């Protein structure tokens, strides 16, 4: 089975490529990535020699490139997105372009090429925020969309584009909405790698506000396994929540990281809260468990968090190249500047 993976050089995409090549011997992967600031081919250096793997450097908004890339593919797994909330607050235009227009371009290309299935990878942030005081509440797939950041709004729009393609054109489209991911190869602007790398380097960590904001944390390999299950067995036109029932406040997360690296709370730097900071995300993932038999098995704390910290400690060279921008030289030599 030949599968096009957009954004396959990013954090979740690269983990997905590596995961499926390891567990699906009959899959061939075309990695379609523009290699913007968070796309890093070093993330996949270990699979470059695999004859089942191919890389195409292209933008999801490039209709001609998309049309060429989907030829011969039976499925598309669409990760490519601008994804950092803080960046979307500073400038939302790239989020609308990549997340909304790029999704429309890829959907059109897949439909015209007769691609059998399109999995659109989205986020729990499209649902908005839950109250802290009602801990029993969870977002279900039927919860209304109420995004509060430009990033989340762009993802909600892309979800609706994907579901409209199913309703209007009969495309076999599935939308997945996952909770916060952590694990290896995550770009160190996100909280776990940022805090981990800061602490390992003796720097303080910037904690937003009072640290009470809650997120459901899932290990990236659990997410990848869930996506493979959806791709192979999910129902067309459906939405599947993917979560690990692993809710932690940002303060709990920070304290857990401090304990792992042997640091005290003097390493916490309280900073002004993010504008419009959602209080709590929590997903009801019963649907994917009951329909597809999937559930998270790699996300339990503290062991999963300890293994993640150990990865960043052991890959200090990767961290340094990413933080300095030197990683870009690796693929500029091969593919040229854009």
Active site (catalytic) residues: 124-125, 151
Element (DSSP H or E) covering residue 159: helix 150-169
What the block records as the tokens of 293 is 């038999």
3-state helix, strand, coil in the chain (%, to 5): 45, 20, 35
How far is CA 307 from each of CA 260, 263, 296, 311, 322, rounded to the nearest angstrom? 10, 17, 16, 6, 20
Burial of 193 (0-12, 13-18, 19+ CB in 10 A): buried
User: Coil, strand or helix: which one is 43?
Assistant: helix
Is the CB of residue 75 less than 8 Å from the CB of residue 92? no
Pairing of strands 239-242, 268-271: unpaired
- What is the C-alpha separation between 148 and 137, in angstroms, rounded? 18
Is the CB of residue 116 less than 8 Å from the CB of residue 42? no
What the block records as the tokens of 149 is 């950041």
Element (DSSP H or E) covering residue 144: none
Tokens 């001609």 -> residue: 64
User: Coil, strand or helix: which one is 86?
Assistant: helix
- What is the C-alpha separation between 326 and 338, in angstroms, rounded? 16
């Amino acid at each position: 089975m030949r599968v096009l993976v957009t954004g396959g050089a990013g954090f979740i995409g690269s983990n997905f490529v590596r995961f499926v090549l390891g567990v699906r011997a009959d899959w061939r992967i075309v990695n379609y990535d523009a290699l913007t600031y968070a796309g890093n081919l070093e993330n996949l250096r270990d699979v470059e020699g695999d004859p089942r793997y191919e890389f195409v450097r292209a933008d999801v908004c490039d209709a001609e490139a998309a049309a060429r890339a989907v030829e011969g593919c039976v499925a598309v797994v669409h990760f490519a997105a601008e994804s950092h909330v803080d960046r979307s607050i500073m400038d939302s235009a790239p989020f609308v372009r990549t997340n909304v227009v790029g999704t429309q371009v890829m959907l059109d290309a897949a439909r015209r090429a007769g691609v059998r299935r399109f999995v659109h990878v989205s986020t729990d942030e499209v649902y908005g925020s839950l109250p802290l005081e009602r801990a029993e509440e969870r977002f279900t797939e039927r919860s209304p969309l109420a995004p509060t950041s430009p990033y989340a709004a762009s993802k909600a729009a892309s979800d609706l584009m994907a579901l409209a393609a199913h309703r209007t054109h009969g495309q076999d489209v599935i939308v997945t909405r996952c909770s916060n991911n952590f694990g290896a190869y995550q770009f160190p602007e996100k909280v776990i790698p940022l805090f981990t790398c800061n602490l390992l380097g003796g720097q303080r960590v910037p904690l937003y506000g009072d640290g009470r904001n809650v997120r459901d944390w899932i290990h990236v390999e659990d997410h990848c396994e869930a996506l493979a299950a959806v791709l192979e067995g999910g129902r067309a036109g459906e939405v599947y929540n993917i979560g690990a029932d692993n809710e932690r406040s940002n303060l709990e997360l920070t304290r857990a990281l401090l304990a792992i690296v042997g640091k005290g709370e003097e390493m916490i730097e309280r900073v002004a809260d993010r504008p419009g900071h959602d209080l709590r995300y929590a997903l009801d993932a019963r649907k994917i468990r009951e329909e597809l038999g999937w559930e998270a098995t790699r996300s339990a704390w503290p062991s999963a968090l300890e293994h993640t910290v150990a990865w960043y400690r052991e890959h200090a060279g990767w961290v340094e190249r990413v933080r300095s921008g030197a990683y870009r030289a690796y693929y500029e030599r091969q593919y040229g500047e854009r």
